[in-house]
A and B are shown apart, each in its own frame.
Chain A
Amino acid sequence: MIPRPFEYHAPQTLPEAFALLGAHGDSAKLLAGGHSLLPMMKLRFAAPDHLIDLGRITDLKGIREENGVLWIGAMTTENELIWSTLLQTRCPLICEGARQIADPQVRYRGTLGGDLSHGDPGNDHPALMVALDASFVLQSAAGERVVPADGFFIGTYATLLEPGEIMTGIRIPMPPPGTGYCYAKLKRKTGDFATAATAVTLRLAGGNVEHVRIALTNVGDTVIRATDAENVLTGKPLDEHALDEAVRLAMAACNPAPDLRGDEDYKRAMAGEMTRRALNTAHERAVNPARP
């Protein structure tokens, strides 16, 4: 319950935050919503000497469209994602996913950027962002670079973020009208991390799958993009045979860790089932694109 002592910093601007990161190096941690970091500090899994609170930097918040690209500030909270009318109408996969994350209180604090930067394979946004072909804006005192979500996650709690960098925003190509989507998550109870979950975006052309992205949560060291399953579906109708084959290939891509949520076989089977449900729902929504 009691974290180790540390110094607290609350910069008002990004340059101030970069200066603090530069001054304190590895002994500093960025504090966003604090709903992963503070729990780890309370259990003394993490004991940084300095916390740099990003909560007062207003540039890191917001949801807007810029030339067909959706920009979401890294400090935007889960609750703000859920209630964004722009996302509800133009990119509802994010709302559907965010509603399955944690609980109301946690969603008032926890942020999109924090969920992604944490690099926990149990988190849901990595799969949502891979399914949406998002990219992340990483800024440092030296400038900014933009890296795709697919490839950003390199291991458990490990991402491409370098020391001195801050994820400032998330860019998502606006899904064209008619994009089917689904986030199917199996969990033991509200607020739990997934036993297995699958994020899908899918578009049809002339009855055939023109585009499909499949990303799996919590069945490996990181989010897993099921590219073999995507390839087997592309260019064909989504019939029973194609679906079975995609589910088999998605299961083959899993490498789950056994824990209290189940053993490898169970998690792999559930990843298959979530993939089947997510593909079916995304397909229905692509056929009937009326928004809820």
Chain B
Amino acid sequence: MASKTMVTFSLNGSEVDVVVEPRELLIHTLREKCQHTGPHIGCETSHCGACTVDFNGTSVKSCTLLTVQAQGAEIRTVEGLAEGGVLHALQEGFMQEHGLQCGFCTPGMLMRAYRLLQENPDPTEAEIRYWMAGNLCRCTGYQNIVKAVQYAARKLRGETAESSHPLIAADAAQAH
């Protein structure tokens, strides 16, 4: 019925052309046409934020955006966070602070935190919780996610970032 349209956008720095029906959701294009399967789908009511990507300098839930709306957009997904094989401070923070278990919410959490720390490089715990409220997690209870974002914030500000985890901290001390 509806004619297909070609849409061009930048995905993690590379120009991408896709041909989509107008009804195709951005999350499906990213996962099925671009094979960027880090962004996940956790709901159909726009609550969970597992599909969060960075879109023209904002965090968006890519399940609630049509791919045709992405014409000319700059999109970054979790696949674009690490550079040259080196983890982004947030990826390192989530690992060091045990900020993930099943990993299903993690790509969305990372991309939301990525934007948050650019807007607010030194957030309080309350600010982290408030500005991450669009991302649900069923595993962690959020506490370690807050610590992971704090870890990344310290590192990105050029301060010393050490794991608050007692065993990891002890390992690190032994290694010295």
Q: List A residues at the B interface (Cβ < 8 Å).
A: 1-8, 10, 31, 34-35, 38-39, 41-43, 51, 53, 55, 79, 102-106, 108-109, 190-191
B79 within 8 Å of A (CB atoms): no
Q: Is the CB of A109 within 8 A of B66?
A: no
What are 9 A-B pairs at a CB distance below 8 A?
A1-B41, A7-B2, A8-B68, A42-B44, A104-B116, A105-B52, A105-B134, A106-B61, A106-B64
Q: List residues of chain B with CB within 8 A of the CB of A1.
A: 25, 41, 44, 63
B10 within 8 Å of A (CB atoms): no
Min CB distance B73 to A, Å, is: 11
Chain B residue, CB-CB nearest to A42: B44
Q: Known pairs A8-B2, A8-B66, A38-B64. 17 more at Cβ < 8 A?
A: A5-B23, A8-B5, A8-B22, A10-B69, A31-B69, A34-B69, A38-B65, A38-B66, A104-B112, A105-B49, A105-B52, A105-B60, A106-B46, A106-B134, A108-B58, A109-B60, A109-B65
Q: Is the CB of A39 within 8 A of B61?
A: no
B133 within 8 Å of A (CB atoms): yes
Min CB distance B59 to A, Å, is: 5
B17 within 8 Å of A (CB atoms): no
* Alpha-carbon distance A51/B24, docked complex (angstroms): 13
Q: List residues of chain B with CB within 8 A of the CB of A53.
A: 68-69
* Alpha-carbon distance A79/B134, docked complex (angstroms): 13
B174 within 8 Å of A (CB atoms): no
* Alpha-carbon distance A31/B22, docked complex (angstroms): 13
Q: Is the CB of B59 within 8 A of A4?
A: no
* Alpha-carbon distance A109/B49, docked complex (angstroms): 14
Q: Do A51 and B22 form a contact, CB below 8 Å, given A5-B1, A34-B66, A39-B45?
A: yes
Q: List residues of chain A with CB within 8 A of the CB of B130.
A: 190
Min CB distance A126 to B, Å, is: 20
Count A-B pairs with CB separation below 8 Å: 87
Q: Is the CB of B23 within 8 A of A109?
A: no
Q: Is the CB of A5 within 8 A of B2?
A: yes
Q: Is the CB of A190 within 8 A of B133?
A: yes
Kindly supply a per-residue 1/0 record for chain B positions 6-48, scoring 1 wherever the CB is within 8 Å of any chain A CB and 0 otherwise: 0000000000000001110100000000000000010011110
Q: List residues of chain A with CB within 8 A of the CB of B112.
A: 104-105
Min CB distance A44 to B, Å, is: 11
List 3 tightest A-B contacts by C-beta distance, closest first.
A103-B134, A8-B22, A108-B58
B160 within 8 Å of A (CB atoms): no
Interface residues of B in 119-153 (CB under 8 A from A): 130-134
Min CB distance A60 to B, Å, is: 15
* Alpha-carbon distance A106/B47, docked complex (angstroms): 9
Min CB distance A185 to B, Å, is: 14
* Alpha-carbon distance A39/B48, docked complex (angstroms): 13
* Alpha-carbon distance A39/B68, docked complex (angstroms): 16
* Alpha-carbon distance A185/B68, docked complex (angstroms): 36
Q: Is the CB of B44 within 8 A of A43?
A: yes
Q: Do A191 and B47 form a contact, CB below 8 Å, given A5-B22, A5-B23, A104-B112?
A: yes
Min CB distance A38 to B, Å, is: 5
Within 8 Å by CB of B134, from A6, A38, A104, lies A104
* Alpha-carbon distance A34/B65, docked complex (angstroms): 7
* Alpha-carbon distance A109/B131, docked complex (angstroms): 15
* Alpha-carbon distance A38/B69, docked complex (angstroms): 12
* Alpha-carbon distance A90/B15, docked complex (angstroms): 43
Q: List residues of chain A with CB within 8 A of the CB of B25.
A: 1, 42
Q: Is the CB of A105 within 8 A of B66?
A: no
Q: Is the CB of A103 within 8 A of B49?
A: yes
* Alpha-carbon distance A39/B44, docked complex (angstroms): 7
Q: Is the CB of B58 within 8 A of A79?
A: yes
Chain B residue, CB-CB nearest to A43: B44
Q: Is the CB of B22 within 8 A of A191?
A: no
Min CB distance B70 to A, Å, is: 11
Min CB distance B85 to A, Å, is: 29
* Alpha-carbon distance A2/B131, docked complex (angstroms): 29
Chain A residue, CB-CB nearest to B23: A3
Q: List residues of chain B with CB within 8 A of the CB of A34.
A: 64-66, 69
* Alpha-carbon distance A108/B21, docked complex (angstroms): 24
